[in-house]
Structure formats: structure tokens, C-alpha cells
Chain A
Amino acid sequence: MTPNPYLFIVIFAGVALAFPLLPLGLAWLWRRFFQPPKPGVGKNAIYECGVESIGEAQIQFRSQYYLYAIIFLIFDVEAIFLVPFAVAFTSLPVGAFIAILVFLLLLIEGLIWAWGKGCLNWAK
């Protein structure tokens, strides 16, 4: 009789659960019977490379950064495409050349659009 094929998934899930829980349980038992807990203000403080943390960790980021990041990403990817294009430039057929020009044109169009929208002006 062949076992149910899903049985292995159940075994796998059981092992996956036991693997982290067993050491955690052992650590808990260890703390319970041997190691006295020693929490403290400094010990539980936020870790900032030893420097005392100033202010809250949850702060609001300016959404302005997001547009810059998107535009940067687009031109970063463009540069990656342009390198193989430049390497294979002399042996490219006309069709491929026109295709990459269209690609460039689309990106330039996007830049002009972003420019026209005022995304490149740093809003205070």
C-alpha cells in the first residue's frame, strides 16, 4: 500500500514546526531552572550601535523621495539595457536599432512628462 502523497507534506510541516520550537522550548526550560532572567533598561533599549537613540523609530518619510526613486530606477534599468546595445552596436540589424531607439524615446518621453508635471522640482 502506498501512503497518501500528502502525508509527506504533513511530516515536513511537523518537522518544520518542531525544528524551531524545540530549541525555543529548551531555552525556556533552561531559563526556568538555571539562568536567572536579568532584564534592564539599558539591556532592553533600542540598539543603535551603542549610541542612545533619539526620538521615535516610527517617523513619517516624505513621499517626495518616492518619485525620485522611481525615476532613478527607470534610468538605472535603461543603462543596463544600453550596455549590451553598445557592445553589439556594429553587428545590429536595422530593426533592432530602431527598436532600441523606440525604447529610448519612450523613456525620454517619460522624463519629459515627469519634468512637465514638476516632479523634478523639490517641493518644500
Chain B
Amino acid sequence: MSEGIDEGLRRELQRQGVWVTSMQELYNWGRKNSIWPLQFGLACCAIEMIATAASRYDIARFGGEIFRPSPRQADLMIVAGTVTKKMAPQIVRLYNQMPDPKYVISMGACAISGGPFKQGYNVLKGIDRYIPVDVYIPGCPPRPEALLHAFMELQRKIDSQKLSGADKAEFLKPEQPSEFPVPAFGEHDLQPPANPDVYHPPKLERV
């Protein structure tokens, strides 16, 4: 895992009771085991999120039980539920107010694409139109196990982020924005309907 030290030597030292680690590993280890989510529910997925936090599924086992009521103290935003167009600017604003590094889990069909309300006039067709999403969880609503799985995926992602070098984590790059433009209420839709810097819809190709 760590650069600069041979994995075999590391194991050998470990067997002798010497633990060798790197700054990056220590930092990521601390980060991934204390992800504080934003206390923020939108619809029925939030009920599953609450169930995940409660004793039966117990997200505390992964260090994520401290749901913060303020974005200033949160690392993770779980977009749990249907994002209406009325709510979308608030979500982007909350995301902007979170300090770096910050992560987003898009929970459920609605947060991914609008889900069963995709044809509706008032539902945003996926929160990834405005903010970057790290993990998507399909389901309507996803089970608490699915949220835990997403949480573990996010931990894996954090663990693999690099502190230095050309491929270092996005939030460490000075040119990478920490804020994204908040959409405004337009006549028929949010303006702009999507942020082209963030939103890359999959291209369908007929063959």
C-alpha cells in the first residue's frame, strides 16, 4: 500500500512488532474511520438512513454515527431522497458550505435520476447535475445494508486517495473548485438546468 517501503519487509517488521506506516496512510485511516455525515434527509430514503444510524444496523461500527446538524462540521452529504427543484438550490448551498474534503452519496433512485418522479415537472433528474457525487446507491428506497455498502465503498475511495503527486486527491488541487454555482429559479426550470462542469450524462450510441 505505502510507497517507498517493500511490502514483504513491512510484513516482516510487523511480525516483529514494528509498525511502519506513511503519513498518507495514517491520514486516510483517520479520515475514513470518522466520516461525519450531514444530518439531512429529503424523503423516504431518509427513514432508511435513520434506520442505518439506529441500533440494528448501527453505522457507528464504521465511524459514521455523528450526524452533524451544520455543514461546517460535516464530511459527507447523503442526499437521501427526492430532490425537488425547489430544494435543489438549498442542497447546492449546503454542499458549498461544507469544508473540504467533502463527499456525496446519492441515495436512492430519486437522487440519482429522479426515480419514479422522473417524468414530473418539479423533480430534479439527479443531484449529480449540480454537485459531484462519489457513490450512487440504487434502490427505492435502498435497504440500510445498501447504505452501509456505499459507506464502505466511500471508505475504500478515501483510503485510495493520494496526498501528493500528479494523481493526488481532487480536494488537494488548488485549481479544483470547492464551491459550485447555485441554480436559480427560472420561469420553467432551474437556471441553468445542469452544471456542465459537473454533469456528464452517459452517451448512448446505437450500433
Interface residues of A (CB under 8 A from B): 34-36, 38, 40-43, 45, 47, 49-52
Bound-state CA distance A10–B18 (Å) is 36
Tell whether A50 pairs with B91 under 8 Å between CB atoms, given A42-B96, A42-B97, A42-B182. Answer: yes
28 contacts between A and B (CB under 8 A): A35-B100, A35-B171, A36-B172, A36-B173, A36-B174, A38-B100, A38-B174, A38-B177, A38-B178, A40-B178, A40-B179, A42-B93, A42-B96, A42-B97, A42-B179, A43-B96, A43-B97, A43-B99, A45-B97, A47-B71, A47-B97, A49-B90, A50-B89, A50-B90, A50-B91, A50-B94, A51-B90, A52-B93
Once bound together, how far apart are the Cα atoms of A10 and B196, in whole Å?
A: 59
Q: Does any Cβ of A come within 8 Å of B66's Cβ?
A: no
B172 touching A34 by the CB < 8 A rule?
Answer: yes
- The binding surface of chain A is classed by DSSP as loop
Across-interface contacts of A41 in B (CB, < 8 A):
179
A36-B173, A42-B93 given; 17 more Cβ-contact pairs under 8 Å: A35-B100, A35-B171, A35-B172, A36-B172, A38-B100, A38-B179, A40-B178, A43-B96, A43-B97, A45-B97, A47-B97, A49-B90, A50-B90, A50-B93, A50-B94, A50-B97, A52-B93
Q: Is the CB of A40 within 8 A of B96?
A: yes
A50 to B121 Cα, complex, angstroms: 23
Residues 49-90 of B contacting A (Cβ, < 8 Å):
70-72, 89-90
Q: 4 tightest A-B contacts by CB? A: A50-B90, A38-B178, A36-B174, A42-B96
Closest partner residue, chain B, to A42 (CB atom): B96
Q: Which residue, A34, A38, A50, has most C-beta atoms of chain B within 10 A?
A: A50
* Inter-subunit contact B70/A47 (CB<8 Å): yes
Chain B, Cβ-Cβ closest to A38: B178
- Measured between alpha carbons, how far is A36 from B177 in the docked complex, in Å? 11
Q: How far is the CA of A47 from the CA of B97 in the complex (A)?
A: 8
Give the complex CA separation of A57 and B81 in angstroms.
Answer: 31
Cα–Cα distance between A35 and B178 once the two chains are bound (Å): 12
Chain B residues within 8 Å of A36, by CB: 172-174
Asked if B163 is at the interface (CB within 8 A of a chain A CB), the reply is yes
Specify which chain A residues have a CB less than 8 angstroms from the CB of B90 in the assembled complex.
49-51
Q: Which of B81-120 contact A (CB under 8 A)?
A: 89-91, 93-94, 96-97, 99-100
In the complex, chain A residues whose CB is within 8 Å of the CB of B179: 38, 40-43
Give chain B residues whose Cβ lies under 8 Å from the Cβ of A50.
89-91, 93-94, 97
Distance in angstroms from A19 CB to nearest chain B CB is 17
Instruction: Contact check, A34 vs B163: say whether CB atoms are below 8 A apart.
Output: yes
Q: With a CB–CB cut-off of 8 A, which chain A residues contact B89?
A: 50
Chain B residues with CB under 8 A of A38 = 100, 174, 177-179
| Residues of chain B with a CB closer than 8 A to A43's CB | 96-97, 99, 178-179
Q: Once the chains are docked, how many angstroms separate the CA of A47 from the CA of B98?
A: 10
Smallest beta-carbon distance A121→chain B, Å = 39
CA distance A38 to B173 in the complex (A): 10
Residues of chain B within 8 A (CB-CB) of A47 are 70-72, 97
Specify the chain A residue showing the minimal Cβ separation from B179: A40
